[in-house]
Amino acid sequence: MNTDKSKKGIAFHKVISIIFAALTVVAIVYYGSLPVSYDYRVGSIAVSDIYAPRTFTDTYETKRKAIIARENSEDIFIKSAAVSDENINRTKQFFELAEQVRNDIMKERATNTQLSSTEGANRLSKLVAQKMNKEIPARRLISFIDMSSTSFPFIRDKSVAIAQLLMTEEIGQDELANKILIHINNFKTASPSYSSYTDSMSAVLNAVIEPNVIYDETASADAAQNAYNAVMNDPVTVDKGARLVETGGKIDEHVYSNLVDLELIRDNKFDLVILLRVLLYVAVISIGVVFYLNSRSKKSELDIPVFYMLIVTFLVPIAASIYLSKLSPLFCIVPFFTAVCSTYMGTHDGIILSLFNFMFVWPVYNFDTQTLFVNVIVIAFCAIFAGKSARISTNAALILYPTLAAVTASLVYGFLNGATRDEFINAGVFGLISCIASLVAAVGLSPIYELMSNAASPVKLISLSQPGQHLLKRLFMEAAGTYSHSMMVANLADSAAEAIGADALLCKVASYYHDIGKLNAALYFTENQTDGVNPHDALPVSDSVRIITSHTEDGVALAKKERLPTAIIKIIDEHHGTTVPGYFYHKACEEAKSKGLEMPDIDNFRYHGHIPSSRESAVVMLADTTEAAVRSKKITTADAAEELVRALVRDKIDQDQLKNSGLSFDDIEKIIHSFRHIYEGMFHERIKYPS
């Protein structure tokens, strides 16, 4: 019950910490996302050059061009059937009036009234002006009075035909006269004998025919709006880094509009829009972080000190980005978090959580693609060299290789984007400085992290593996047999962990310390008895069992006192699981038989630890059991050792000792083969030397 309450309390603290961290990230990213602002108005004089911090849409220029496009759009004219019919009818009406005047003149001449052609033309001109409201000079109408009665119908029909042909086309004012001239010339070519009438025909047609296209107001308005929309839909953009105004330049309406678009005009009011953007952005990424941590926690639980340490380390690059982003888009110290996180959580977790960390930082760098490209590569390299491994890289390698990756990535990005020489130099220098600064800080602070945390980091494990360590020296001096046993267990566990891809370094170092609880009663364990005297012979079985089984609990207590990593303490607690020391249980059963008593309860003989909860803990359990059994049975061949190991593994499976370990049958087979390989090296034959 207390354990459950403790777990709930730890979980509650972690949830509160994550919420607090998320709110801190919101505040930092909001502050970092606020652009540099200027207290300018239209007409102000710029005191420094202002450059576009990002690519943006120039709304002022876009709208200006859209208005020009709208005003310059061509008016729409369409052919009018009514106007066309009216033109044809007017042509016919003219000839009707001409025929009427001709008939009147013929009648008057029949009564001996002598009318000249000029008078007839004047009469026709006046009649056309009166009836048709058209002005045609009389001199251009004389031929219609003088032409013969056979020519008049022909000229009339041809004129009407020309009018009809003209009205089949769309004819505007500018092209009307030319179109009439073309048709008159065609008539002259086709009927040369009537060419004397063409001038009169041209005069009439030019007078009575009007353009048959009319202005379409609706279509013209639509065309103007379409021209406006076309420009607005393809706005003018200004590239990042473009100079908006130079020092001493006047802030005109255009420049001021650009500054407003970029949110560069100072406004002391709280910017709710930017805050909402940041909240949404941080919320989405935070959900991803929580889901990932939740899935990860099922594999291994982070200690509270390590958890808080990683949260603080997670926030450092985000907070620092507010100031570093002003220096260069490449001055990003996310690798600092990557190095620390990968050291304590491994390469996979280091990469994933560092990418989340970078996503929080990215808005402060205005989502710069070069920053993204370089940091993704550096994160991968850094996590690989800082992550847990059986072969731990030196600090020099951790700093050198990611730094080379950062510089190379910076230069490659510049090359692909056609950077100038200065841009190449800046990219290389800032990539070098930021990566070295991040990793040197991570390495330099590692002793403080080791002091604060109780995690099994590679650095700490390497330190604990040194023979001069306090507990190992005690083990060597006070329990030499246990020390020798632990060294052999370490070799077996290291080989097995390497074979199945577990943490070999942790297995090896934990094996050194797994039996430190025996220091409290070293002579009660057979490997430390050198004079043939076994103190258990003088003790009741119950006391012997208590001494033997308590070495796991004593080991846990001593490990906590010496502040060993939690992972090692767990292995000390779990390396015997809940098994039974068979020798003493068998002895108790024999005593009960001889005294006629009931068989003893086997649960009273069990170790008080827990069954292995990780592959590493299970590997140490099997290595410890194997080493003790092989030594006890004095086995001298690899085949016999393998047979014994298989029997021991079956026994552990039958007792449900490996059900929570995460080992597969394939893993178990690899472990058995790795143990055999170790014993093959121990039991190989040597050349017999002469005495």
From first CA to last CA, the distance across the chain in angstroms is 67
**Residue-level pLDDT at 260:** 83
What pLDDT, on a 0 to 100 scale, did the predictor assign at position 390?
Answer: 42
Q: Measured between alpha carbons, how far is residue 168 from residues 278, 352, 460 in Å?
A: 66, 75, 98
Instruction: Place 202 in a pLDDT band, splitting at 50, 70 and 90.
Output: very high
Please report the pLDDT score of residue 13 as a whole number. 65
For residue 318, pLDDT beyond 50: yes
pLDDT > 80? residue 582 = no
Q: What is the pLDDT of residue 267?
A: 61
pLDDT confidence of residue 1: 41
Largest CA distance in the chain: 178
CB-CB neighbours of 597 under 10 Å: 11
CA within 13 Å, CB half, 34: 17
List C-alpha distances in Å: 115 to 34, 96, 110, 146, 468. Answer: 98, 20, 11, 12, 147
> What's the mean pLDDT when you consider all of the chain?
84
DSSP 344-387: HH-HHHHHHHHHHHHHHHGGGGTT-HHHHHHHHHHHHHHHHHHS
CA distance 282 to 295: 20
The residues that bridge with 51 in the sheet, in sequence order, are 243
Tens of pLDDT, residues 355-389: 999 998 888 888 888 889 999 999 998 888 887 54
pLDDT at 266: 61
Q: What is the mean pLDDT of residues 95-115?
A: 81
Q: Which helix (H) or strand (E) holds 215?
A: strand 213-215
Report the pLDDT value the prediction gives residue 270, as an integer from 0 to 100.
Answer: 63
380/347 Cα distance (integer angstroms): 8
pLDDT band at 11 (very low <50, low <70, confident <90, very high): low
The whole-number pLDDT of residue 391 equals 44
Q: Residue-wise over 288-307: b if at least 16 C-beta within 10 A, else e? A: ebeeebeebeeeebbbbebb
- Whether 515 shows a pLDDT value over 80: the answer reads yes
What confidence score (pLDDT) does residue 365 get? 84
Which pLDDT value is given to residue 557? Answer: 92
Token pair of 611 as six digits: 């069954």
Question: 182: how many CB neighbours lie within 10 A of its CB?
Answer: 14
Q: Quick one: average pLDDT of 582-603?
A: 79
Q: Which tens digits make up the pLDDT trace of 640-652? A: 888 999 999 999 9
User: How high is the pLDDT of residue 328?
Assistant: 81
- Residue 496, classed as helix, strand or coil, is helix
3-state secondary structure of 447: helix
- Nearest to 579, CA basis, from 476, 682, 652: 652
In this structure, the number of other CB atoms found within 10 A of the CB of residue 544 comes to: 21
Task: Give the mean pLDDT of 262-267.
Answer: 72
pLDDT value, residue 648: 92
The 3-state DSSP class for residue 237 equals strand
Whether the per-residue pLDDT at 492 is higher than 70: the answer is yes
Lowest mean pLDDT among 306-315, 368-377, 528-537: 528-537
Distance, in Å, from the CA atom of 83 to the CA atom of 89, rounded to the nearest integer, reads 10
Contact 101, 145 (CB under 8 A): yes
pLDDT of residue 10: 57
What's the token pair of residue 662? 């995460």
Instruction: Return the amino acid letter for 387.
Output: G
Is it the case that residue 512 has pLDDT exceeding 90? yes
Set out the domains of the chain in order of their start, with CATH numbers.
2-33+271-455 (no CATH), 77-215 (no CATH), 461-682 (1.10.3210)
Q: How far apart are CA 200 and CA 196, in angstroms?
A: 8
Confidence of residue 487 (pLDDT cuts 50, 70, 90): very high
Residue 290 has pLDDT above 60, yes or no: yes
- Section 426-450 average pLDDT: 84
Tell me the per-residue pLDDT of 30-72, one tens digit each, with 9 for 90 and over. Answer: 777 666 677 788 888 888 888 887 788 899 999 999 999 999 9
* Mean pLDDT (whole number) for 210-219: 87
- The fraction of the chain above a pLDDT of 90, given in percent, is 23
- What count of other Cβ atoms lies within 10 Å of the Cβ of residue 388? 22
| Residue in 673, 613, 619 with CA at minimum distance from that of residue 511 | 619
Mean pLDDT in residue range 23-36:
76
User: Which residues fall within 8 angstroms of residue 308, CB to CB, at 6 or more apart?
Assistant: 17
**Closest to 258 in 3D by CA, of 276, 239, 278, 273:** 239
Q: Do 475 and 530 contact (CB within 8 A), yes or no? A: no
Instruction: Choose between 267 and 219: higher pLDDT.
Output: 219
* Helix-helix angle 504-513:615-632, to 10 degrees: 50
Mean pLDDT along residues 439-450: 81
∠ CA 549-552-553, rounded to 5°: 95
Mean pLDDT throughout 192-211? Answer: 90
Share of the chain above pLDDT 70, in %: 92
The HSE-up count of residue 245 (CA atoms within 13 Å, CB side) is 23
Whether the pLDDT of residue 393 is over 60: the answer is no
76 near 219, Cβ under 8 Å? yes
SS3 238: strand
